[in-house]
Structure 1
Amino acid sequence: MNSLHAAPELAPYHDEPAQLPSGAPGKNGVLRLGFERRGERTILAGLCRQAPLLVQRALYWDEAMPGLACVFIVTTSGGLLQGDRHSIEVRLGEHAQAHLTTQSATKIQQMDANYATQTQDIVLEDGAYLEFLPEPVIPYRGSRYLARTRVTLPESATALYAEIILPGRKYHRDAELFGYDLFSSALRVTRPDGRELFAEKFVIEPAQYPVDGCAVMGGFDVVANVVLLTSAARADRVIDQVPAASTLAGPAVAGASRLPNDAGLIYRVLGTDSEPVRAVVREFWSLVRRETVGAPLPPPFRWR
């Protein structure tokens, strides 16, 4: 996780910004969160934060899961800037339950030098349950972004992880739609003994490889990549209830597949805009909740 600069897709972008150099104070964000089960409630027992990443406290707004620790990840810089190096570490103790999200969409600002990175290291212990569902990512024109996520969990734990990627500021001005230079994201999942369950990586470079054609985005603009990491029995219950996509004419299409090594499921959604995609992801999230912890979702916040 420390050799991100060696990724081949970053080779054209190693020039330093004219402003603060990459990784300088204020650009090297660090967040470490440790959750523990205390009685009927999960608490945020460990917290280390370094600007521009910030977490304040755990909240408990979910009436169906009153012990679920709900935490907003905040960035004080208004998004990811060129030269930013962010690192997030999350650990859930035995039978801890947590919901992580962001305070708003992650905006990857326009760049004229270097790139931005974010690493996420997530560890779950026996019986833990995590929902990591950040708001969508918006890569601005000319931005370069590389994300690396590693999840370690036993078979008894469950993690629902999602990323929703917008095509840019679609309605802002010309050249914003798929106008970013680079979006690279990789996920690696292992058992606590080090056994690798699966790894995936996708690299999007719209100027070199157009993404709006057949077998890529195919006329859609928004993609959601949702991964359910859980036992084979729970995954079976979920996939049996996921409807199969039957048409490409609607505002969103989706489909689920099994992951190798009984790691769980992967669920992909394509849509014409963000709201239809978010709605389909929420339906899948509701199904996962019901089949893994036996609880319904709360109604959406009114401002969503």
Structure 2
Amino acid sequence: MTVHNQIVNTPSRRRAHSVGNTAPELARYQDEPPQMHSGAVGKSGYLRLGFEKRANRSVLADMERRVPSLVQKALYWDEAMPQLPCVTMISTSGCVLQGDRLATDVNVGVGACGHVTTQSATKVHSMNANYASQVQHLRIEENGYLEFMPDPLIPHRDARFITDTQIKIHPTATAIYCETLMSGRKYHHVDERFGFDVYSSRVCAETLEGKELFVEKYVLEPKTESLDAVGIMQTFDVFGNVVLLTPSEHHDRIVERVPAVFDLKAGVASGVTRLPNHCGLIFKVLGNDSGEVKAQIRAFWRVAREEILGVSLPPPFLWK
């Protein structure tokens, strides 16, 4: 594995510093923190992961990191895919703070595969100045396969967070990308449930040549408009969003195996639909408990693996 130590000014790092500057939903949060200014050393995290195929397995061949972003050594704990390097991203600060600017680049080479996750839930702390931003660029080459499956994100009271994810993918490749949003620390204080100021998320995909495949963006401002309305969160507390980009030959079989669910008694609702340009599918799930939402996501993930790769998922870790 090659580890680079020089500071690089990549497009994702530049965008992490600028993505919130012109976002209308963050216009009133442009003030600088009275402590360290936004994007200062220690608050401008960067992580680059490069997966390549070597002989009969893939490896983490390239890595660069800047605090507070860090990554563990690639492990091969997935018994269903022993050739799959599994990488855990870590934050040395333990949380996301006001003024943080975080960027991640993941590159999957021709025929390579990789699994990327987090050590635990991402906590976005309360803020009284500015906001935090996250930019993620994922690139999957011909016949590549990427699973980007972080744990849930928990926005604390008065948090402001914007995340922007761009996926560039070859028509023969597969990428499964997940984001799970909690309502907050609802058992900590009554004002923590949907007590954040802004959560803004944009996910887009395009071909390696730059042709746009789809764009989805949603902005949540629960102090301006209640999220408990029908058509938004209704009575639910957890939202899961899974994007599956894969060749169209797999779409019908996956859709047939993923029925729509709406069970208020069990506290879960989910469904799958097709993305434009025949580029893939998107699966959404609502729940009252993060464990149930994770279970629904794993069920969809398992179906996707079985239909695309012909292998299943191993049992989840007890601590996950």
2:25 corresponds to = 9
Does the C-alpha gap of structure 1 residues 247 and 56 become closer, same or farther in structure 2, counting only changes over 3 Å?
closer
**C-alpha distance after superposition, 1:253-274 (max 9, x if no partner):** 1000000000100100000111
1:235 and 1:28 mapped to 2: Cα distance? 39
Show the counterpart of 1:174: 190
Q: How many Å separate the matches in 1 of 2:318 and 2:193?
A: 29
Alpha-carbon shift at residue 202 of structure 1 (Å)? 0.3
Residue 43 (1) aligns with residue 71 (2): no
Structure 1 regions of 5+ residues with no counterpart? none
**Matching residue within 82, 85, 94 for 2:98:** 82
Aligned letter for 2:69? L
Q: Which residue of 2 aligns with 1:194?
A: 210
Q: 3-state DSSP class of the match of 1:36? A: strand
Find the counterpart in structure 2 of residue 255 from structure 1. Answer: 271
Q: Is the partner of 1:214 in helix, strand or coil?
A: coil
What residue number does 1:63 align with?
A: 79
RMSD: 0.9
Q: Which residue of 2 is the match for residue 129 of structure 1? A: 145
- Partner of residue 219, structure 1: 235
Alignment-derived partner of residue 229 in structure 1: 245
Q: Distance in 2 between matches of 1:180 and 1:218?
A: 17
Moved beyond 4 Å, runs of 4+: none
Distance 1:23 1:32 in 2: 18
TM-score of the pair, normalised by structure 1: 0.98
The answer to whether structure 1 residue 298 and structure 2 residue 314 are counterparts is yes
**The residue matched to 1:240 in structure 2 has which SS?**
helix
Q: 1:9-28, aligned counterparts within 5 Å?
A: 9-28=25-44
Percent identical residues:
50
Cα distance, 1:247 vs. partner? 3.8
Which residues of 2 match residues 102-113 of structure 1 at below 5 A? 102-113=118-129
Say which SS state the counterpart of residue 88 (structure 1) adopts: strand
The 1-side partners of 2:262 and 2:296 are apart by 14
Aligned amino acid, residue 263 of structure 1? C
Distance in 1 (alpha carbons) for counterparts of 2:172 and 2:295: 28
- Which residue of structure 1 aligns with residue 160 of structure 2? 144
Alignment of 1:31 onto 2:54: no
Q: TM-score, normalised by structure 2?
A: 0.93
Residues of 2 paired with 1:277 and 1:54: CA distance?
A: 27
Deviation for aligned residue 1:18: 0.9
Distance in 1, Cα, partners of 2:315 & 2:53: 25
Deviations 1:147-204 (A, max 9, x none): 0000000110000001010000010012000000000000110001111001010000
**Number of the residue aligned with 2:114:** 98
Show structure 2 runs of 5+ residues with no match. 1-11
Equivalent position amino acid for 1:148 in 2? D
Does the aligned pair in 1 maintain the 2:115–2:146 contact within 8 Å?
A: yes
Larger mean CA deviation between 2-11 and 194-203 belongs to 2-11
Post-superposition offset of 1:246: 4.6
Measure the CA separation in 2 of the matches of 1:273 and 1:64.
28
* Cross-structure match for 1:210: 226
1:120-142 deviation line (CA, Å, top 9, x unaligned): 00000000011100000000000
Cα distance, 1:250 vs structure 2: 2.2
Distance (Å, rounded) in 2 between the aligned partners of 1:239 and 1:39: 34
Which residue matches 1:266?
282
Number of paired residues? Answer: 304
